[in-house]
């Protein structure tokens, strides 16, 4: 849904991508660094209740998800099959760390309902990605969805960060909205694939 912003963001990141490529940094190194940074920050800040600083730190490293493609192009290529596979696989690890950190925080602070909602968001987010990967593996398309990864990260990081600064009910509202949007996206993608697999 927000993929229309990718070209503009890529143009902003291009100078940095070229500088990294000139210094011998590979796209895979950028991808791995972004994931490691995201996992470390999410599992350090979120369980401690430092949701604002955690959201800022995670956002910084999540940007590497777009920078790796810029580095690939700066090195004269459009990315490799291995790079695409690695990027997609590490995205799942990063997402799991973000929600795991929040689940630890909610559970430890006695917010059991929000811990459950965050767990649902994690599972639904994984299903959103799995349905698309499975469909494409079977030769079908699945480029639809209300809440793709970018949207999900924006919602969870914004609501967690600003909610911790004192905006009333923002964190809870963000998680409930994300849960509903993720569930809707799973159904949306399943129906899209069914229309291809079982034509009327």
Encode pLDDT of 99-154 as tens digits: 999 999 999 999 999 999 999 999 999 999 999 999 999 999 998 888 888 889 99
The reported pLDDT for the residue numbered 167 is 83
Sequence-separated contacts (24+) of 136-140 with Cβ below 8 Å: 138/197, 140/193, 140/196, 140/197
User: Looking at 65, 87, 91, 95, which residue is catalytic?
Assistant: 91
Q: Is 22 a catalytic residue?
A: no
User: Distance between CA atoms of 49 and 55, rounded to whole angstroms?
Assistant: 11
Give the predicted TM-score (pTM) of the model.
Answer: 0.88
Q: Which two structure tokens, joined as six digits, stand for 109?
A: 């602070």
Q: Which residues contact 53 (CB under 8 A, 6 or more apart)?
A: 45
Go through the domains of the chain in sequence order and give each one's CATH number. Answer: 3-197 (1.20.120.1760)
User: Distance between CA atoms of 51 and 29, rounded to whole angstroms?
Assistant: 27
Torsion of CA 40, 46, 49, 50, to 10 degrees: 60
């Amino acid at each position: 849904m927000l993929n229309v912003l990718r070209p503009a963001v890529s143009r902003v990141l291009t100078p940095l991508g070229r500088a990294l490529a000139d210094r011998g940094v590979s796209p895979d190194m950028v991808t791995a660094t972004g994931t490691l940074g995201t996992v470390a920050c999410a599992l350090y800040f979120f369980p401690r209740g430092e949701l604002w600083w955690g959201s800022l730190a995670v956002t910084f490293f999540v940007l590497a998800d777009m920078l790796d493609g810029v580095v690939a192009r700066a090195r004269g290529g459009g990315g490799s099959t291995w790079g695409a596979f690695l990027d997609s696989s590490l995205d799942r690890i990063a997402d799991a760390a973000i929600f795991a950190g929040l689940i630890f925080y909610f559970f430890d602070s006695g917010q059991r309902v929000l811990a459950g909602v965050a767990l649902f968001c994690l599972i639904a987010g994984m299903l959103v990605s799995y349905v698309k990967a499975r469909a494409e593996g079977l030769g079908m398309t699945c480029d639809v969805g209300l809440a793709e990864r970018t949207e999900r990260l924006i919602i969870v990081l914004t609501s967690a960060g600003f909610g911790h600064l004192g905006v009333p009910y923002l964190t809870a509202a963000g998680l409930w909205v994300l849960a509903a949007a993720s569930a809707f996206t799973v159904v949306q993608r399943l129906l899209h694939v069914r229309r291809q697999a079982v034509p009327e």
